[in-house]
Structure 1
């Protein structure tokens, strides 16, 4: 008997009759066993979201064969879909400035296999994290940026993304605002961590803003990047309780763990095909 292999099919499409039946019938035809199937019917928007993890005996050309055949099913129901081998690592390029706690967390989780990612490069506008990154055997690129050099720096970034064939860009406390042009170029494939519980306290120094308002919880939000500052579709959020004794720097320290957890969750769910983007909203099937 050949080795059992796993694949994951994800799709979203307009709601209609017979969609799930068509998917499960396709899997039955290929003698696949469903390991996990999750779906969400958004009745208000009239859309179906589905993720199915399935297994079966392996063949060398199975994935391409199934993709070619499923394309006919997808066309019938106007599906936006993807079929990948389960556990396939996503190539990730990380961007960071001086605060390296989220970077360090992602490096550790990738190294231990907790995240299904391959970190192909790290880009920073500061040289501070070079030794940490290179210790992990990952290329580090120092790309300084200023108002005058921003177009050239962003062009270099796009070149590095292409060079390393990065499928996902992660802004791990990268404290520069991307241009509208670059944000549009990277729509749906760039995740940012913002150090507040959005939509509260957007922009710079959110912990200081939170302290001025006397908040009793602080948090972090991982979201997709778009052309509006800190307005992209939200993927994951984390909070921690605080009180009146916390000064601004105490809030900064308390928030670090929430930033790491929210960002790692968002990266994991994206790479496992659990995040569905539609307009300015996300559906997370987990």
Structure 2
């Protein structure tokens, strides 16, 4: 989805949830196998490149922590969790890479997607969980983390797309419904965030940089309705599920915020 575009480039974002068709219920808790897939991309224009601009960094957040807090505070009746925490989500931290593979989908092993930085570029990837906790269920002790990825672009001076993905793949992501009753409908909340910093021009022999810092906050509202019981578990419906993008005051965009400023190039904003 195109979130924002101007003469310097185009910011693309996407988020996708997938669920297994039939899922287990044990000790009054439903365990729904899931896959959480997110995509971020900034396509730099030749105009920005000719003005000394470059793609600098991207940030992606998959916030199980806030979604779980919503459950604890009574705002939802189900929540997402990760079986393995930081070691289960993808991609993993690395100081330097030109490509990586992430698993998506809910097939037996799930298809994979390969993401490659442009031919002239590379990047470092940092994966952290600034907010984190764990909860205890009868058959699992999932991590409820604020998974945060920072993609630091190197040599982002080419007029091209710089794209990344951050996912919780099949085998790690689960949607939990405690106190499950097949006669009820349930709600889960999952916030996701996308952020990008691009330098649009440089001045005074590369001493000063003009930049655009843009971000989009989004939230999945997942509606889970039990349909029927089978020999393998329960069949669920997710028909009313949708994602909401929280708009700011930037016309013709899906941005929550946009900051444009000029500063010393060695003092550019760093990821939060």
Same fold (TM over 0.5): no
Greater strand percent: which structure? 2
TM bracket (short chain): under 0.3
Greater helix percent: which structure? 1
Q: TM-score, normalised by structure 1?
A: 0.26
Using CA pairs under 8 Å that are at least 6 residues apart, name the structure with larger relative contact order, 1 or 2.
Answer: 2
